Amino acid sequence: MMGERLGYAPGVFDLFHVGHLNILRRAREHCDRLIAGVCTDDLVVCLKGRPPVVPLSERLEIVRSVRYVDETFVATVDDKLEIWKEVGFDVIFKGDDWLGTERWNTLETEFSKFGVKVVFFPYTAHTSSTLLRSALGLLAQRNPAEAPSGNPTSPLHETGGRDGKSAISRMP
């Protein structure tokens, strides 16, 4: 489609929260089609020194399901110029916590040579995956026996409850 503005919003998107949603919503308002770049688990380890809580396949499914996202891209490298060569976006979006950093100042200069615009959106200060991860860690330390593991202690029966009784009330 002629004149279509393609946007790219890169991220880890671990422990998906309202800050992620805000970036994707705002990004979609500034382009005709939005591609969300989701980092592989290995790339997350390289970038953050620890694996994501939520594995790539699930993060992709979550991000793909957001109505503002037209397509997802699996980012295997952190080099945004390399990703641009593959994806061909016209504008890239980031949170303003990156604004003014040496890395993004350099990227803005490089991208401007190709007509790619860099747009920063306000960072959602009250939440982040790092804060959520810390809160979960504190909860697990405080009540290790009660910390949810994600695995039920007993199998769910076909009717939905652990005891064979339905977890949902049904009308006769």
The token pair that represents 96 in the structure block:
């303003």
What is residue 111's three-state secondary structure?
Answer: helix
Strands 71-75, 91-95: pairing kind: unpaired
Low-confidence residues of the chain: pLDDT under 50: 1, 147, 150-172
Give the per-residue pLDDT at 130.
65
pTM of the model: 0.74
